[in-house]
């Protein structure tokens, strides 16, 4: 069972009939509690249930919804396995270059579930710590203020030239990858619920179409190893 759009992604020539022979239960967006409740009911009735989540189910996904419901239930005996996936931060970073080579913070801009003031506090703290910041759920048609506020806060701490990478529908047919300086972030029309936004730290730079956050190899002193950097790179 799962959000209908994700189930469609499983039912393609590429996946070769993963849904064949199974009872399919789909539902719409924002129905997470209902969907999780039905999954638990079906499992308690003796079925094997696969609850589909996009990316990694443990990062803002269905794993927590299921576990929170089971925790309320008190003493559930349902055998459960959470299968990790490739989260949006990783898939989007791989299309931008290597923006996550140093410490980073992941923040959801969805103020449906988290108070806007808490989100702002998180953004400020992430800036003060000079983290690369990955924004999930950056914007929707109705919800535009959190992203505007985020940029306002970011510009108090970071250069307006800080690289910002936007990836929409990563690894799907209509994937889009955009790189802009922070000052132009709000002009990127591709930022919607299908996008992930990665804001560089104070050392992130661009080279061609790549966004790169240094790991710190220039600091490294390894007394035991002779670094053999090919001549053309010295």
User: 87 or 162, CB closer to a second copy?
Assistant: 87
Put residue 208 in one of left, alpha, beta given phi > 0 → left and psi -120 to 50 → alpha.
left
Asked if 5 touches a second copy (CB under 8 A), the answer is: no
CB of 21 to a second copy, least distance (A): 26
- Give the burial string for 28-61 (b: 16+ CB within 10 Å, else e): eeeebeebbebbbebbeeeeebebbbbbbbbbbb
Distances (CA, A) of 128 to 82, 118, 131: 34, 15, 8
Interaction of residue 187 with a second copy, rule CB under 8 A:
no
Closest distance to a second copy from the beta carbon of 185 (Å): 19
Among 43, 126, 167, 179, binds a second copy (CB under 8 A): 126
Which residues in the 193-222 window bind a second copy by CB under 8 A?
Answer: 205, 207, 210, 212-217, 219-220, 222
Phi-psi region of 171 (alpha: psi -120 to 50; beta: other; left: phi over 0): left
Pick 172 or 189: Cβ nearer a second copy = 172
Stretch near a second copy under the rule CB under 8 A, chosen from 3-11, 28-36, 145-153, 180-188: 28-36
Torsion of CA 60, 198, 120, 67, to 10 degrees: 10
Span interacting with a second copy, options 52-60, 144-152, 177-185, 189-197, rule CB under 8 A? 52-60
131 lies in the binding site for a second copy (CB under 8 A): yes
Q: Is 33 in the site for a second copy (CB under 8 A)?
A: yes
Q: Which residues pair with 211 in a beta bridge?
A: 97, 206
Minimum separation from the CB atom of position 49 to a second copy (A): 14
Alpha helices in the chain (DSSP H): 4-10, 32-44, 62-73, 88-96, 116-128, 145-157
Of the pair 24, 112, the CB lying nearest a second copy is at 112
Q: How many chain residues are in contact with a second copy, going by CB under 8 A? A: 83
Helix (H, G, I), strand (E, B) or coil at 64: helix
Binding to a second copy in span 63-122, by CB under 8 A: 63-73, 82-87, 90-91, 93-95, 97-108, 112-115, 118, 121-122
Shortest separation between residue 107's beta carbon and a second copy, angstroms: 5
For 134, the 3-state DSSP assignment is strand
Nearer to a second copy, 162 or 213 (CB): 213
Give rounded-to-5 percent helix, strand, coil for the chain.
30, 15, 50
CA 225 to chain centre: 37
């Amino acid at each position: 069972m799962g959000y209908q759009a994700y189930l469609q992604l499983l039912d393609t020539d590429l996946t070769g009939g993963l849904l064949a022979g199974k009872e399919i239960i789909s539902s719409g967006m924002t129905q997470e509690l209902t969907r999780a409740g039905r999954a638990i009911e079906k499992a308690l009735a003796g079925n094997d249930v696969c609850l589909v989540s996009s990316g990694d189910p443990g990062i803002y996904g269905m794993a927590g919804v299921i576990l929170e419901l089971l925790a309320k239930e008190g003493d559930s005996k349902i055998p459960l396995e959470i299968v990790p996936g490739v989260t949006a931060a990783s898939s989007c970073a791989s299309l931008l270059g290597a923006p996550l080579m140093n410490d980073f913070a992941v923040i959801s801009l969805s103020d449906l579930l988290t108070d806007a003031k808490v989100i702002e506090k998180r953004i400020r703290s992430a800036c003060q710590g000079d983290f690369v910041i990955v924004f999930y759920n950056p914007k929707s048609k109705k919800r535009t203020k959190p992203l505007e506020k985020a940029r306002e806060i970011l510009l108090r701490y970071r250069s307006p030239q800080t690289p910002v990478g936007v990836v929409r529908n990563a690894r799907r047919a209509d994937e889009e990858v955009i790189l802009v300086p922070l000052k132009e972030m709000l002009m990127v029309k591709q930022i919607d619920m299908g996008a992930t936004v990665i804001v560089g730290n104070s050392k992130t730079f661009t080279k061609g179409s790549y966004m790169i956050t240094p790991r710190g190899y220039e600091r490294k002193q390894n007394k035991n190893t002779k670094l053999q950097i090919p001549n053309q790179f010295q």
